[in-house]
Amino acid sequence: MDSSVFNVVLSQDIQTYKEKFDKYLNLNHSLDSIVFFYSDKIIIKDKNAREDIVIYKDEIPVIAKLLEAEKLEQLEQFFNTKKARVLSNREKDSILISIDEIYSFHKKSHLPLSGIRIAIDPGHFANDIKTARVEQRLLYFTIQKGNKKDTVKLLEGQLTYWTAIILADKLKQQGAEVLITRPNENACAFGISFQEWMKKRKDKVLDSLYNQHLLTYDKYKKLKTCSEMQFFNLFFKEYELLQRSKIINQFNPHLTIIIHYNVDEKNNPWKNPTFSNYSMCFIGGAFKEKDLDKMINKIHFLRLLLTNQIENSEKISHLTMQYFENYLNINAAKKDDAKYLQTVCIPTHQKGVYCRNLLLTRHIISPLVYGESMCQDNEKECKALSEKNFEYNGYKVPKRVYEVADAYYNSIIRYFEEVFFKNYSSKN
């Protein structure tokens, strides 16, 4: 069986890569002076306008496979030695032989998703008010309920976790192997709670990074003494997201689902409910000039350019948006609903689906959907999300959360039926 038939584009005209670059990757022409397309090659230049990486047309199929199959450290080594050099036929052959069949799948039962690996990332991690304040993912306000006042307390990390466990259970019933990046409601991606991490691991991690010269002395001192919230913003947020991407990539998923619940940006500082409500899905792309500074980011960029990952992400996201709109009854966000949709995103041809260069949409090596199903602070949703009025496997959750999990579930089933298995059978 062909090893990575799902995401690799076989040799095409460079022109099609240029079109893809304009459509998904080049945010406001920021990369016009860095990435160049010729009839026989693609060039990435460095700060001094020297050729840093050159990919020749006939190398594309091999490099595309390598970008999906190889570990990031090996890829860095590979591109640091390749640079503008032409790969010999022997090198190309040996790359093809060495690539593991990581994207192949082997059916183990008659169930429709047997042999399929799906990663689920429930966004954020706070399961208590103190931690939710640190990660700034707490909605806390009073609302009118009939003629009484009531308090709304929503922790995004709880909503995403409940959604993830329901979705995981439904997918397992269809035969899928499922990974959730957080092992329980209290844990972050390091397997323990943030508070426990702060107590037991913070000092060791900072010392070790400082000793490896990965932190300057000033930054090290600052991180040792600053408040928890500053520590979260300056260090932990990105550090923990990287851990999520590592866990996901080690699992070699065929598909990744990243679950978030949004708030209405114009409702800042979220002291009252809003009448607005909208949904959106993010996929990778939308690079700015400074996003291409390090080799690792050039590798992510090349993977999105040369493989089919971004097109497949667009397909699962389009399906997800259909369920958000028609099943959850939440309209797709329009560009003027939020500033970030105008400044850091490229809208795709699919309603509500935007390219955005987030750490996870860049680092994860599989088709993905980063879903923001609704605004939690919407006047109706905040009530629906506060009520634990539904039981699933002995777990009390809001009915609305079950519906969100079901929306993801239905779109995943359709993605495998309509995209994944179709591609697979046509190429085998």
Q: List interacting residues with Zn ion (CB under 5 A).
A: 123, 260
Which is nearer to Zn ion, 8 or 259 (by Cβ)? Answer: 259
In whole angstroms, how close is the CB of 26 to Zn ion at the nearest point?
A: 26
In whole angstroms, how close is the CB of 123 to Zn ion at the nearest point?
A: 4
In whole angstroms, how close is the CB of 259 to Zn ion at the nearest point?
A: 9
For residue 235 the two structure tokens come to 């260090």
In whole angstroms, how close is the CB of 212 to Zn ion at the nearest point?
A: 31
Which is nearer to Zn ion, 260 or 356 (by Cβ)? Answer: 260
Q: Is 315 helix (H, G, I), strand (E, B) or coil?
A: helix
Which is nearer to Zn ion, 52 or 372 (by Cβ)? Answer: 372
For residue 45 the two structure tokens come to 């230049």
In whole angstroms, how close is the CB of 261 to Zn ion at the nearest point?
A: 6
Which is nearer to Zn ion, 182 or 298 (by Cβ)? Answer: 182
In whole angstroms, how close is the CB of 258 to Zn ion at the nearest point?
A: 9
Alpha-carbon distance 420 to 118, whole Å?
13
Which is nearer to Zn ion, 113 or 407 (by Cβ)? Answer: 407
Query: How many beta carbons lie within 10 A of that of residue 11, not counting itself?
Result: 12
Which is nearer to Zn ion, 260 or 303 (by Cβ)? Answer: 260
DSSP symbols for 258-289: EEEEE--GGGTT-SS-BS---BEEEES--B-G
Cβ atoms 318, 371 nearer than 8 A: no
The Cα-based distances of 89 to 53, 80, 131, 243 in angstroms read: 19, 19, 55, 37
Alpha-carbon distance 157 to 259, whole Å?
10
Cα–Cα nearest to 322, from 416, 259, 422, 415: 415
In whole angstroms, how close is the CB of 122 to Zn ion at the nearest point?
A: 10
The Cα-based distances of 301 to 35, 149, 291 in angstroms read: 11, 51, 9
Angle ∠(279,156,199) on CA atoms, nearest 5: 150
Which is nearer to Zn ion, 26 or 276 (by Cβ)? Answer: 276
For residue 287 the two structure tokens come to 């690079």
Give the residue at shortest CB distance from Zn ion: 260
Query: How many beta carbons lie within 10 A of that of residue 289, not counting itself?
Result: 15
In whole angstroms, how close is the CB of 41 to Zn ion at the nearest point?
A: 40
Which is nearer to Zn ion, 26 or 163 (by Cβ)? Answer: 163
Alpha-carbon distance 328 to 330, whole Å?
6
In whole angstroms, how close is the CB of 201 to Zn ion at the nearest point?
A: 24
In whole angstroms, how close is the CB of 140 to Zn ion at the nearest point?
A: 16
Alpha-carbon distance 354 to 341, whole Å?
8
Alpha-carbon distance 423 to 402, whole Å?
31
In whole angstroms, how close is the CB of 40 to Zn ion at the nearest point?
A: 43
For residue 209 the two structure tokens come to 């990074």
Task: Please state whether the peptide bond connecting residue 273 to the residue before it is cis, i.e. omega within 30 degrees of 0.
Answer: no
Alpha-carbon distance 272 to 185, whole Å?
27
With residues binned 3-state (H G I as helix, E B as strand, rest as coil), the percentages for the chain, rounded to 5, are: 50, 20, 30
Alpha-carbon distance 325 to 332, whole Å?
7
Which is nearer to Zn ion, 231 or 282 (by Cβ)? Answer: 282
Which is nearer to Zn ion, 260 or 298 (by Cβ)? Answer: 260
Which is nearer to Zn ion, 287 or 370 (by Cβ)? Answer: 370
